[in-house]
Structure 1
């Protein structure tokens, strides 16, 4: 029934014009009702009414049309049942409560309960009375659908990343801050994971920014699928992501989550512009162990991420107290790299490359190492991460080629030398001429030099790249495409360049060692491709005889890795090459040794109720070497405080003067990128309740800790410091 008919009875008595004066200039009630009827029909203004029980007695037909419901199904229904609050957060009072209060209201935003997707309405209403008797509500409505969704989108964009739909930087900061503040009095844990994509810049540079944007969307989707625990995922901008995992401090679980993310993200992507492969590095910190405030925890996670990327990328790493010192020392190493070249602190080690069928060593791959004046030998993996991106990368790379050629000239003619060529060196002007000069100066036959380069060299100017490759081919040097299977792995690269060998990516080989199916099939395909193009294949990083047999069955021609030998010095190489030939049989006994990290920092160790400050000289999964205490007998048990609540029970297994070798009761675990940590940590709150500070245990008395001295007794040290130990530690 139109509004005019609904209201005419109430206004009939007032519809007669008054005698005299102003009747000619006023609208009649019928005319007013007609105007309201037109307004209602136009949709500019809608009306509704309810009885004293809240049931609809009138509703503008235009509203029923807008929400796509028959008018006769709405009339007689409770208003609070027909419309519900459109507030997604559920903070607004319900319509039933507002009607029950019998007070005027305005601006109440609702949706139709049966058609919530159709429209968003703003309702206003006033209670109606017949004398003092409440008769119901009369009100108006307006369609605010467009306005509502515009405001909702504006609010969403203020909290979420417009590209991926993940939380943005501001929302993540707010969530982490509020979570940490709420968790601290409850003594709960919260983990923060920082992630950074590897090789993402290559996608933007080669396939374009549109491809980069689509890639980020797919990465976000994979993250959502990979994380099956309560968490919040955010994109901070560019290729940086952040994850908050409340009530999680088990580093075994966190490591599994990080590894799953890294594994999923590195799988190939199919974009409209082409196929690509990227990687991911992750850093993990846990509150309150690694910080209590937002700034502290995020900074710790950033340091861990920095360490993971420096460790070779495609890895995760937990924060530990030594990372900051490592970061500072690393920056100093980068600054001193030029001096290291000038003062001849660099040297080469060589890793045998063996013919899989005969066992003959037919080449040796050069690895650059650094004998630092203070730190000692910096091995090739760490040196490579320092060199990557430094200004000296071209200078060091050229030095390695000259040095390797000079060494190889002393070897039998049947043995070649392989040298990795960094991208900045390859694209540098005059690179091919520099290689030619190195060969001429050392009198090494060009075919005895193998130059290994990654697919990244093809990201430069096409004409320059092709010209350099042609010059090297004309020179006669052998060319190897390194890390095949890790990046774009385009057949076009192999067709363009005169490669002699394809070197299968070490990570792909490692995956083949863990899984029998897809990775081995991919390696078979690479071998078949190489055979069709008359190229050799090399597999790197082989540790087990089982993997060796699988790869040989796949047809891989040449192999290297711990199953044959670790990188060795030039003296050992010359000794082995003194005979007619050098053969190495693969052996599963040559497993990669547990890496012992050379460190130099102060730590605390506890014996009975007393803590001592000592110097940690090196650290492995199973033990450590400490210095500072005199005449400690074998069999002595210590609790080693590695910082941040990392307490490890250890026994002295050898002792000489001021130096002791310790064996851990429970092995440390790999932190994902070559670092070491304990699986579990003592909560800082537990340490604080035992009288220790939050950051780490301090030297002195621990009589309040379990097993300490009785109440009232003093802490009694049983060992003395070696002469000069305290000043050395300082």
Structure 2
């Protein structure tokens, strides 16, 4: 953008015939305008041409006066002056002197002028060249040379005329000198004529090139001007210039309008004053304006520099680019630049930035923003030797709301929770949503541990208050895991892991509490990790076994079958209790493979037993949500040869809690195979009667907690067992009492009407060989306690 920059001249190919006016090539050069330039140049040199002709004729006449008749010379002079007058008048009288274009005919008409003048002047060397004395000959050739040179100068812009004149006059001169015995002079004349011809042609070509460049530059200037006008009229951008003192010397009217000022008021004002607005008086400039001032001071170009502008109380954003300009001496002359209003783009960018760092559902900071805030808090704590804290919050019983009432209700519940949580934090804390029903809190100042723990308890109490939503009263809770830095971790990753482990402990305790991180939690987590690795290889290495617990007729004590119970004995860790590895298998997505092994193994074993002994197998909800599970059951029955009615699958109510579940369809397919279904742990969960109405269960299992409570005389437990038995009888289902451990409990479940029983009173879970022995020896006998 510097004013000292130059535009290189174009060098087009010049068509010689077009330049002579013999044809119109129609190429990229506008030859009509070139021809007009040639004729205008001839017009300007017409009087000089006439003067040269008069002077040359007078000199020639003086040289030949002693040799030639005066009358003949007089006639030749009249002829020469008449022809020169004719040519001069023709040139001066060419159409409109302001004409911009000329035709081929206009240029061709100059050819006869050169021919006529050449023929007239060729009379002298032809008539007198051979008889002139040495002195007269020298004067004659001097005059002729003068005429040739002046013709090249005054007629060169019209190459058709000038080359015709030079050729017609030059050839007789060369021939005459050669015939008079002066070959050296003839050769000199030939060289001179050729040189004058080339000079005339070059002069004509230079005129063509000059005019072509002028036209190209003019067209380029028009294009640039047009583009600039369109640019300023159709866009939100504007141009400006400042001098060396950074005062505005030129500015687009749009610039003044964008500042809310009149166009004529900008000249002479400092650019920084215009951009600073009201802050110019106070001196409180933005960082961006300071940066602009530094760049102007250092006289360096800059591009797309964002500047905040206050226009009539509204914050706008401009984007400015500029380059320094210099005068013809190379001295700094100011800046020339362009500005544009990018407020809308800036707002859109800010919105995108917000969307990238804030949760769209709750409006709270998202995981990315929380991680950034935690990293900042850790850096500040490390710098000042302070402490910060991180909490992870998980909602208790939220999944049940989602599954029973649907995700739209769950989303609105999350919004209510977010509003409550937002009201609890101060300026030194940030609360955000990590995803799902997980939230987190970054506490920048955790020097007071008691205050941090009080905040954790307040979060639990606040979230646990009931919610009125869509005519539903909803009860959820919260579990919190707390970690302090630098005690529990010096990096964001370590601190998050510590808080997560603490949250895991809170969930293990039943939820509704907070737990601070302890080193033992890491040990437990490492144990789970090692256990998961071992669990993945347990089936392949044959470390899994099945134990079989007898299920008996509650009235007679006769054996009905067994429930297959999974056991795991690790060669190094020993016996791992099911309560420890079954949840781990579900978390690690291993329950499907393990469940398939249990199903196939139990079916193979039960097929060896004498009929009608049945086998009962617990099935997880993850297995039933697999659409191919019914096919797997069919394959296990076919491979083992076990009759379908001898297989009973036990499921819990959690199977039905997922919204849009496919489990009901899978269960119907299993029933169609002839397999029996049992609803396990009935009464401990939601106990919806809809489950029994939608699925054809064959039996209901009463949890051992009710059996033991009833044995102690608890009226509520007794009432629940009676109600379940009555419900099962009305639906044609059997009832199985779990956890019967004493004769008193056995008599009680008999009295209450339970049809089946199992527990330590009838036998502990047995290894496979003992189960086979019982089936073969005591299949029709009463099973006694085998504790």
Q: TM-score range by the shorter chain?
A: 0.3 to 0.5
Higher percent of residues as helix: 2
**Larger C-alpha radius of gyration, 1 or 2?**
2
Q: Give the TM-score taking structure 1 as reference length.
A: 0.44
Q: Give the TM-score taking structure 2 as reference length.
A: 0.41
Higher percent of residues as strand: 1
